Amino acid sequence: MSYALVVPSGMHAPDQEVASLMTHRPLRLVVATAAISAAALLLSACGGDATDTSAPSSNAKVEGAITVYNAQHEELSQAWVDAFTKETGVKVTIRNGSDTELSNQIVAEGKASPADVFLTENSPAMAQVENADLFADVDKATLEQVPSQFRPSTAKWTGIAARSTVLVYDKRKVKEDELPKSMLDLAKPEWKGRWAASPTGADFQAIVAALIELKGADAAEQWLTAMKQNAKPYKGNSTAMKAVNAGEVETALIYHYYYYGDQAGTGENSANVAPYFFKNQDPGAFLSVSGGGVLKSSKNPAAAQALLKFITGKAGQEVLHTGDSFEYAIASDVPANAALVPIADLQSPTVDPAKLNSKTVTDLMTKAGLL
Ligand SMILES: [Fe+2]
C-alpha cells in the first residue's frame, strides 16, 4: 500500500489546519508581518520593558483597546469579542492565523509583541509561549471559573474550550464493533491503508503531544512509524472526513466538531459517517484544551485579563453551549452543546496541558517521515 498524499488545491499553509467546515482562512499575517516588525522596532526603541506580571484585580477599570492574536475559529472568537466589546466598550483588534504560526510569531516578537491576548485551538502553542516566559499570570477570578483539569498546572494560561479526539468511520463499510478498542491499535498491520489523518495540522499534532505525555516518547515514536505505513495523509480534518464519506478510506482520526458541524448544516460531508469515541482513558480519548493567555508585555493588562474572564465566564461559555462551533464549553458550569456527547461520558485521559510540547512532536513526526 503506497502512502497516498492527497492535497486539495487550496490556500492553506502546510501547518495550517482547516479551522472549521465553514471557515477556510487565508493567511493574512504575511502582509501584516512588515507592519508588525516595524511596530516591534518602534516599541523596543521606546525602551518599553513592559513586564507587569502582577495580575490585576478582576474589578480593575477596563477601557481602551487590545489586540488579540487568534488561532481559534474566526466566527467563535468574533462572537466572544463582539459580546465583550458590547459589555465593556473595550475595542478589540483581531489578527487571525494558525496555532503554530502565531505562537512562533509571538516568540519572535518577544516583549515587543503587539499582542495582548493569545487564543489557540490547542495547548502546544500555548505551552510554547509559556516556555518562552512571555505569559503573565492569569487573574485568580478567571482561574476560579475553570475546573483544574481544563487548565495548565502552571496557571500561566487557561483553557477556554475543548475538543475531543474521535474516529469517524464509513457506516457502509465498517460496523462499530469492528473498530479498534484503542487508538494504539491503528498501528497494527490489519489497519494498513484503512485510516486517514491530517498530520500537518495543529489538531493532530496535539493528539500526538498527548500520546507522548501518556505513553512516553519511545511508544509514540513506534506508533508514528506504524502510522507512516498505515495511514493515508490528508490536508485538513474536514478533507479527511470527506474522504471517509466518499468511500476513499474507512476511518479518519480527527476532532469531533467537524462531524457535528457538518451534521448541523447540510450533512453532505458526513451522511455516510458516524463518530466513534475510544473512551476508557485511551490516548484516543484525548480532550484537547484550547487556550487563552495574557502576554506579560501587554500595555493594557486589565482589559486583556477582562477578556479572558469574559470568555471563561457564563456569557462566553454560553456561546459554546448555544452556538454552532460545536466545541465543548468547559467553564462556569455551562453544559456542552446538546448535540454533543457530554464531556463526562468521553472518559478522557488526564493530561496536564502545560506538558504538551510541540517541539518533541514535530521532531518525532519528522523522524517518522510524516512531516
Ligand atoms: Fe480544527
**Ligand 1 center–CA 171 separation, angstroms:** 23
347 Cα to the center of ligand 1, angstroms: 21
* Secondary structure (3-state) at 293: strand
pLDDT of 201 strictly over 80: yes
Phi, psi (5° rounding) for residue 224?
-70, -35
Q: pLDDT at position 195, please?
A: 98
Position 61 confidence tier, pLDDT thresholds 50, 70, 90: confident
Cα–ligand 1 centroid distance for 260 (angstroms): 12
DSSP 91-157: EEEEEE--HHHHHHHHHHHGGG---SEEE-SSHHHHHHHHHTT-BPPPPHHHHTTS-GGGS-TT-SS
pTM listed for this prediction:
0.85
**Residue 25 confidence (pLDDT):** 39
Q: Where in the chain is the domain with CATH 3.40.190.10?
A: 56-162+288-344, 164-286+359-367
Beta-strand runs (E) in the chain: 65-70, 91-96, 117-119, 158-170, 195-197, 231-233, 251-255, 273-276, 287-294
pLDDT, position 358: 87
Q: Cell 505551552, residue?
A: 127
Q: Which residues surround ligand 1, an ion (CB under 5 A)?
A: 17, 203
CATH class of the domain comprising 164-286+359-367: alpha beta
* CATH of 56-162+288-344 among 3.40.190.10, 3.90.25.10, 3.40.50.300, 3.90.230.10: 3.40.190.10
Could you tell me if residue 337 is left (phi over 0), alpha (psi between -120 and 50 degrees) or otherwise beta? beta
Residue 165 CA, ligand 1 centroid: distance in Å: 11
pLDDT for residue 40: 35
Distance 17 CA to ligand 1 centre (A): 6
CA 203 to centroid of ligand 1, rounded, Å: 6
Q: Tens digit of pLDDT for each residue in 204-222?
A: 999 999 999 999 999 999 9
Tell me the pLDDT of the chain averaged across its residues. 88
pLDDT of residue 286: 98
Of 286 and 57, the structure prediction assigns the larger pLDDT to 286
Cell readout for 154 is: 502552571
CA-to-CA distance for 294 and 55, rounded, in angstroms?
Answer: 10
Rounded to whole angstroms, the Cα distance separating 241 from 230 reads: 17
Distance 54 CA to ligand 1 centre (A): 33
Task: Report the pLDDT averaged over residues 259-269.
Answer: 98
315 vs 226: CA distance, rounded Å = 44
Cα–Cα dist 346/282, whole Å: 10
- Residue 221 Cα, ligand 1 centroid: separation in angstroms? 23
pLDDT value at position 14? 32
Q: Using the Cα atoms of residue 83, residue 19, residue 152 and residue 95 in order, give the sign of their dihedral.
A: negative
Eight-state DSSP code of residue 334: P
| pLDDT per residue as tens digits for the range 218-251 | 999 999 999 999 999 999 999 999 999 999 999 9
